[in-house]
Structure 1
Amino acid sequence: MGDTFLTLRTLHMTCAGLAIAGFVLRWIWMLTGSRLLHTRPAKVLPHIIDTLLLLSAIGLVAIIGFFANAAWLGAKIAGLAVYVVLGTLALKRGRTKGARAVYGVLAIVVFAYIASVAHSHDPLGFLRAWV
């Protein structure tokens, strides 16, 4: 179990890092009007990375159990839903570039919250400092 857990955790953390780096890069490309945003790798790689991120998360939950960790895992899942909505608004659905810029910043903050919840196993993550 130990080796499998460490492997999945490493894969999960690597994919999370790649996912946020890819999001930020695509967000910058969108804001600057770069043609790179419309290339095949920019369209395909995020799906591959996100799929590996999700599969590794499922594997980790299978090992550690959901119910014993429901509070912080639930917070991560809720944060993920918010991040996906904000990310979509930042890259495609925001009406103006200004709105997309704001949504992008908010998506990055929510991603940081999710990472802090994962690190601390506390549903409040970095928000704990203000409570």
Structure 2
Amino acid sequence: MLSYTILKHLHVTAAVISLVFFIVRAYWSVMRSPRLQGRFVRIAPHVVDTILLLCGLALAFMIGFHQTWILAKIIGVIFYIAVGMVAIKKGKTATTRALAAVVAVLIFFYIVGVALTHNPLSWWS
């Protein structure tokens, strides 16, 4: 079984890569770039996000789901995914997609704050 430290580092690395992929894809979506349709661009983020999710779940099982900050991260991830879908695929206009991308990145940083502070108030604790 992987140690907590290895899982945590893999989780953080996947989170950084996921954010970079998201920002690039959101920019391409706003700009209507054909690069967004490339095979690698359509597959790689899902692989990274799967690793991110699996590591996060494994860490949550190690720590215990009963902690409120873990629930806050899960709820944050659900909102991040929903808003991210608007930014990449569902937004009808470039302005809508750009605004959704900014909101998604803010949600991402809220989640990071929760992870670092172990507090649902994130950076405001």
Q: TM-score, normalised by structure 1?
A: 0.91
- The match for 2:61 is 62
The superposition leaves residues 38-60 of structure 1 with CA deviations (integer Å, 9 ceiling, x where unpaired) of 10010000110011011101111
Q: What is the rounded CA distance, in whole Å, between the counterparts of 1:90 and 1:64 in structure 2? A: 32
* 2:79 aligns with one of 68, 82, 86: 82
After TM superposition, the structure 1 = structure 2 runs for residues 109-120 of structure 1, keeping only pairs within 5 Å, are: 109-120=106-117
- 8 Å CA contact 2:31–2:94 kept in 1: the answer is no
The superposition leaves residues 87-107 of structure 1 with CA deviations (integer Å, 9 ceiling, x where unpaired) of 000111111110111000000
Q: TM-score, normalised by structure 2?
A: 0.95
Q: CA RMSD in A?
A: 1.2
- 8 Å CA contact 2:15–2:52 kept in 1: the answer is yes
* 1:105 aligns with one of 81, 87, 102: 102
Q: What is the rounded CA distance, in whole Å, between the counterparts of 2:45 and 2:7 in structure 1? A: 19
Is 1:10 the counterpart of 2:9 in the alignment?
yes
Percent of aligned pairs sharing the same letter: 37
Q: What is the rounded CA distance, in whole Å, between the counterparts of 2:101 and 2:75 in structure 1? A: 18
Deviation of residue 33 (structure 1)?
2.0
- The match for 1:19 is 18
- The match for 2:34 is 35
- 8 Å CA contact 2:11–2:51 kept in 1: the answer is yes
Moved more, 30-39 or 85-94: 30-39
How many residues are treated as equivalent by the alignment? Answer: 125
Q: What residue ranges of structure 2 are gaps of 5+ in the alignment?
A: none
What amino acid maps onto 2:20 in structure 1? Answer: A
